[in-house]
Chain A
Amino acid sequence: MAALEVDEVTKQYGGHRVLDRASLEAESGQITGLIGPNGAGKTTMFNVITGLTAPDGGRVRLGGRDVTGLRLHQRARTGLARTFQQLELFSMLTVRENIRVAADIHRRWSGDKQSCAAVTDAIIERVGLGAVADARVTTLPTGQGRLVELGRALAARPSVLLLDEPASGQDDLETARFGDLLRELAEDGAAVVLVEHDMSLVMKVCDRVHVLDLGRMIAAGDPATVQADPAVLDAYLGTSRAAAT
């Protein structure tokens, strides 16, 4: 049983179908890539999974449980956490406080007895924000802001972790370090879903890749297969569309 199953989800805004019977599965211990050109519906897919956007059709299951009717916080409490493409940091707080808020929230509903301060310190160490832990988040560059979001998501101890373009705004060195971190997280047992435009990162770390184009899932498989898929090349480079015109 997959940790996350999205079953033929459809979302329509006016006449525009952002998601068209799109399905997705993510296994525990694996990194699943979700790629596609801009406007393909990747972020909408994350919004539907987390409950920010209600789908017009289809189901979302977490750990085999149908969560389609659940509200955001209820889904989060089944072990789902995410980061946002456009940063959603708590701007009045420091890096440490941002992560601490998440740890506090987790502790409250999970009854976890671990000290929130200790959890926070461990996460800061893990994502490598020690040097800026007491800086206000708005003073950080975007790349580090994304690490704060990741740290916050980790404080919720997720079994399914959705990352929306986590490497954008990071340099090559940071991205490489970030890839290692993702592998570690997956090895710890989380199902990681990665939306990313940095193809070298996706191809390097992902176990499986799903390709979304204009709301439809056009390919899925291991990175090498997907990379060679003509439909994917078409979506990204517009080969057949260019030929047709």
Chain B
Amino acid sequence: MEKFLIFTIVGLSLSAIYAVISSGLVLTYTTTGIFNFAHGAIGMLAAFMYWQLRFAWGWPAPVSLVVVLFVLAPLFGLLLERVIMRGLVGTSEATKLVVSISLLVAMVGLANVVWEPGTSRPMSQFFQGRQVDLGVTTITYHQAITIATAVLVAIGLRFLLYRTRIGVSMRANVDDRNLALLNGARPDRVGLISWAIGASLAAVGGILIAPALTLDPGSLSLLIVNAYAAAIFGRLRSLPMTFVGAIVLGLVEGYLAGYLPGENQYLAGLRPAAAVIVLFIVLLVMPNTRLRTRSQLREHFPAPSVGGMLALAAAVVVAGAVMVTTLDTSGLINYAPIFSLGIVALSLVPLVGFAGQISLAQLSFAGIGAVVAAHHGASGSPLGLVLAVVIAAVVGGLVALPIRHLSGIYLALATAAFAVALDRWVFILPDFDLGPVHISLFGLGSADIAPLEAFGYTFGSPGSRLMLSAVAFALAALVVAAVRWSSFGRQLVAMRDSEAACATLGLNLMWPRILVFMLSAGIAGLGGALYGMQLGTVSPERFNLITGLPLFMLVVVGGAGLVGGALFAGIGLYGLIPLTSSLGPVVAKINAVSPGLTGIGLGRNPSGVIPLMREGVRPLREDRLVLGAMLAAMAAIYAARLADVYGNWPFVLLLLVAFLGASAAANLRARPPADQRAADRRTRADDLDWVGITTPWTAAHLSCLDDAFSGDGLPPLTRPAMAAPVVGGASAATLATIVLPTATDGGTGSVEGLDALHHLAADGDGPGGPGGPDGPGGDDRVAAPAVGAAAASNGRSADGTEVPRGGA
């Protein structure tokens, strides 16, 4: 009985910490709509800060606590809201998620830069060693303080939300942000306060739990997993249910600590993984989330062209060959993951980019691939590689099956839970039998992977293994592109936009969801197996959730729906960062934070940077002459490198110079001559087509329009009703849009366009015409059909550009 009570108290104090952390998470999510993956990382930074003040600098505990909890943490929350989160209003859920994941990655990087990893930082409990005797059992001061804090937080939040003015506007913000705004609430202020309180709550949790864990950025940041397991009980919305969830979770962990047979290796990992297993189960029983409708995503990823894909695949192989011939052994080993983990990044393209599903577990599937390759490819048999793909795909399917009804944030959480369960439990299991199947994993440490033997050749040298993964990347990229071209790919892209429309067309959403998960897991398995072969020996920490996050993030930053996005992630993470880090410790420190910072900028450009880069080099691609000259120059630079005229740094720099020079030359050649540019500017300013856009609309323009039309033999527009004040700025722009096609190509379109104009003029007579009291509504009503008419008659303008969207 006493043991039961002891572990009840252990459980309850864990519950209290989870409750405090998760209530902060729920608070920011409900009031600002942003699920903050970096919430645990805020607690982590706070714990480090507290350690710095209290133990490194020896400040008194109360002063340190006040500084961290009431000054630094809230300020940090305010800063996050003001600088990052406010810019995310109206972006897709995936973008918000990636930004907060980036924040997590950046904060872990920051902690590693400021507090050198590998140093022991002991942190004692509050009133270490003191305890109260409760008669039947005892409770330490730290536990008592923890539980009391949770109770205070619960009371405080209740009071804040129901008894204060700002709390009422917070709740109003949850119900309907726009309505709250109309009623005088200030959502920005609500956001600021929520983030400040949220950060403080994370800090409380971080400081309370740190003494029980080691002060390590990764594991403290992952507290978020436990916190969201609690929050999911309240569906991320209800604070009371979140507290219930926290109590359940804490007690489960407490009793597991007390009653799990300690010597059993199979169950040892169960306790740390308990939270994610609970999370996974709760997500399983969660009723279907609503089908996605009208997602209105800003992202657009065009299907790749066949020529472009072949060129890209060839470029990858050539790049691999160049690397193999120029790098020394350590370079080959350092840069090898560009392609192997690049394939893992590629696995995200069909899943995230095409289907709009989120998986944070891709590196875990890669880990499965590596393990399978280790055991089945022991003699270098290619079967190991094949089985790595197949088994990873099957596991992917098995994971996807129970969570097929989830999407968005819930899917991200479920896959993260799966990844953490593998890290903390499954990957560290000793061999076991599952029915007739003998399963061996990392065998409590690491597994050796033999080099591949195929076509009578052993891929034993680092160079041959790098080449193997470059070729594999090129082939996998072609497979991914082929998927996008297929009817299955179109279906995925369609589902991403509107699951509701797909289902009402007769599509059983379950199959594409599971299949794309399997495809993606299979590709990740291939990447993992190749990565394992490059390493020779693999251990589970290579494949954990935190390691996988930057990869996920950079694919999305590059452009999740593009093969180039995967290449961007591979080159960025495993090429540029190691390359520039070799420049010196300062750059290395900046590099630790830079992937996170890159991701934070995503909100501004959700389609990623690859489309921007592609646009930037367009003149070069189209200019055969300059392109040819550049390739020739690069070949010459390469030849000189092979002849050992210079080393690798000059080689890279010369390649860069060749590329930049060629780009500049192509841009220069693509520019029209100066006198023509000046002429263009003049025409644009005087052109009637642009009236209302480049110059303000005045009534005088009507007669100019009439002059222009009379040349085409059209009736005059001038009517008394078309007085300038009625046709406001926006309508004038519409007028210009309507006139634009008609004035230039005449034909039947012009008559309809004019009809629409007259219609507009007639409406102007009545009360509440365009620009009148009806405001934008009235405007739309008239303008949309008018433009529709112009568009219908005109279809596409002569140069093939599409007709602009309706409305002013």
Contact = CB atoms under 8 A, between A and B. Distances in A.
Are A and B co-members of a single complex? yes
A216 interface: no
A101 B802 contact: no
B491 A104 contact: yes
A143 B785 contact: yes
A142 B507 contact: no
B501 to A, nearest CB: 4
Contact of B505 (A76, A136, A143, A170): A76
A50 B494 CA distance: 19
Given A90-B493, A102-B505, A144 B500 contact: no
Nearest to A169: B784
Contacts of A101: 487, 490-491, 494, 502, 505
Given A91-B300, A140-B805, A170-B788, A156 B497 contact: no
B441 interface: no
B94 to A, nearest CB: 14
A93 B806 contact: no
A13 interface: no
Contacts, number: 148
Nearest to A168: B784
Interface string B788-802: 110110011000001
B505 A169 contact: no
A51 B504 CA distance: 8
A89 B498 contact: yes
Chain B interface size range: 35 or more
Interface string A167-189: 00111111000000000000000
A141 B788 contact: yes
A82 interface: yes
Nearest to B302: A92
B701 interface: no
B166 interface: no
A171 B500 contact: no
Contacts of B496: 92
Contacts of A144: 788, 791-792
B803 A139 contact: yes
B216 interface: no
B179 interface: no
Contact of B806 (A135, A142, A173): A142
Contacts of A104: 487, 490-491
Interface string A133-171: 001101111111000000011011000000000000111
Interface in B760-800: 784-789, 791-792, 795-796
Contacts of A172: 785
B787 A141 contact: yes
Contacts of B756: 171
A18 interface: no
Nearest to B506: A76
B59 interface: no
A97 B498 CA distance: 14
A90 B803 CA distance: 18
A88 interface: yes
B752 interface: yes
A28 to B, nearest CB: 19
Contacts of B503: 51, 71-73, 76
Contact of A171 (B293, B792, B795): B792
A17 interface: no
B509 interface: yes
B294 interface: yes
A82 to B, nearest CB: 6
B749 to A, nearest CB: 12
Interface in B550-592: 561
Interface string A72-90: 1101110011101011111
Nearest to B300: A92
A97 B504 CA distance: 17
A171 B497 contact: no
Contact of B802 (A89, A91, A106, A135): A135
Contacts of A91: 296-297, 300, 497
B786 A171 contact: yes
A105 B495 CA distance: 12
B708 interface: no
A91 B789 CA distance: 22
A116 B488 CA distance: 14
**Which residue among B301, B494, B803, B806 has the maximum number of chain A CB atoms within 10 Å of its CB?**
B494
Contact of B294 (A82, A86, A138): A86
In the A-B complex, list the 5 residue pairs whose CB atoms are closest, starting with the nearest.
A131-B795, A139-B802, A76-B506, A141-B806, A72-B503
Interface of B: 291, 293-294, 296-297, 300-302, 487, 490-491, 493-494, 496-498, 500-509, 561, 752, 756, 784-789, 791-792, 795-796, 802-806
Given A144-B791, A171-B785, A171-B786, 19 more contacts: A50-B504, A72-B500, A72-B504, A73-B509, A88-B497, A89-B498, A91-B296, A91-B300, A92-B301, A93-B490, A100-B490, A102-B505, A132-B795, A139-B802, A141-B787, A143-B784, A144-B788, A152-B501, A173-B792
7 contacts: A50-B504, A72-B291, A91-B300, A93-B490, A141-B787, A152-B501, A172-B785
Interface of A: 50-52, 71-73, 75-77, 80-82, 84, 86-93, 97-98, 100-102, 104-106, 109, 116, 131-132, 135-136, 138-144, 152-153, 155-156, 169-174
